[in-house]
Amino acid sequence: MPAPNDCHWTNDAPPTGNRPLAIVTGAARRVGAAIATALGGAGCDVLVTYRQSEQAARDTCAALASASGVCAGALLLDLDNPATAASKIGRVARSLPRVDVLVHNAAAYESTPFGDITQEQALGMWRTNALSPLLLSQELAPLLCASPLPCGGAIVCMVDMHALGQPRKRFSPYLMSKAALHAMAQALALELAPEVRVNAVAPGVVAFPEVGEEADPDMQQRYLSHVPLARSGSLEEAARAVRFLALEATYTTGEVLRVDGGRFLR
C-alpha cells in the first residue's frame, strides 16, 4: 500500500519491507539528522519528521538515500498538538510494511527564567517533549511489537543529563518535561516488554545552540570547564549511542545512557 501523499519519499520510492524501518522525530537538522544518518548507515529505511524545516528534512533524506541506498521519507508532524500528531503518524505508519524503531528526538527548548515562566511556555514544552512521545508510542506500539527483528522493536528517547539530577537555572519547564520523558521510558520498558525494548540517551552538550545566550563563546567555555573530558560531544557520538540502543543492545531495556563527557560527575 503506498504511503499517504503527505509523506514525501525520496525518488517517490516508499519502503518495501526488506529492511528495518526507523521513525525519527525532529530529524531535519542537527542531532536528529545525525541519528537518521546513523540508522540509515546501519541498514534501516528512515522516516524523518519535521515541523518547520521542510527543505532541510528533504535534503537530509536525499543525502541519506544517496549515501546508504536506503529509503528515506520526510513527514510534517506538529508535536505541539499531541493527539493530532499521534493520529497522523499512526495513519502513515499503518500504510508501511513494518515499523521497527521509534526515536523521540524532537524537542522544544528555551530558557525560561524563574519569575517569568508562563503557562503556555510550560505547557508547550510538556506537549512536545512528553505528551506527544507518550501518545506516539501508544499509537505505534502494535507495529513495534510486531517487528520481525530478532531483538524485537525499540524505542529510544532523547532526554537530557541535566534532567537526571544536575539541573540548571532558567530551564525549569524544559527540565521538568525531559524528566517526564525519562520516566515514560522506564514505564514503557515494563509496558511493552518483552516485544519492545525502551531506553533513553541523555546528552550533555553535543551541539551548542546556534542562537541565544548559549551561542556565546564565553558561556560555552564556562560550561565546558565543568566537563571532565574538556570538550563538547559531537552529533555523531550522540547518534551512535542511539543506534546502539536501537539495534545492538539486545538485552537492555529501561536504561539511560549518558553522553555528556562526564558532566554528570560535576
Per-residue CA distances from 147 to 7, 24, 189, 258, 264 (Å): 21, 16, 16, 27, 35
Ordered by start, the domain boundaries in the chain are 7-261
88 Cβ neighbours under 8 A, 6+ residues apart: 6, 75, 77
Instruction: Supply the pLDDT for residue 12.
Output: 85
Per-residue CA distances from 27 to 41, 56, 148 (Å): 15, 9, 24
Cell numbers representing residue 189 in the block: 520498558
CATH superfamily of 7-261: NAD(P)-binding Rossmann-like Domain (3.40.50.720)
Can you give the pLDDT of all 266 residues of the chain as single tens digits? 444 458 999 988 899 999 999 999 999 999 999 999 999 999 999 999 999 999 999 999 999 999 999 999 999 999 999 999 999 999 999 999 999 999 999 999 999 999 999 999 999 999 999 999 999 999 999 999 999 999 999 999 999 999 999 999 999 999 999 999 999 999 999 999 999 999 999 999 998 888 888 889 999 999 999 999 999 999 999 999 999 999 999 999 999 999 999 999 98
Total Cβ atoms within 10 A of residue 66? 12
Instruction: Supply the pLDDT for residue 5.
Output: 53
Asked if 42 and 243 count as a contact pair (C-beta separation under 8 A), the reply is: yes
99, 101, 105: which is closest to 42 by C-alpha? Answer: 101
Largest CA distance in the chain: 53
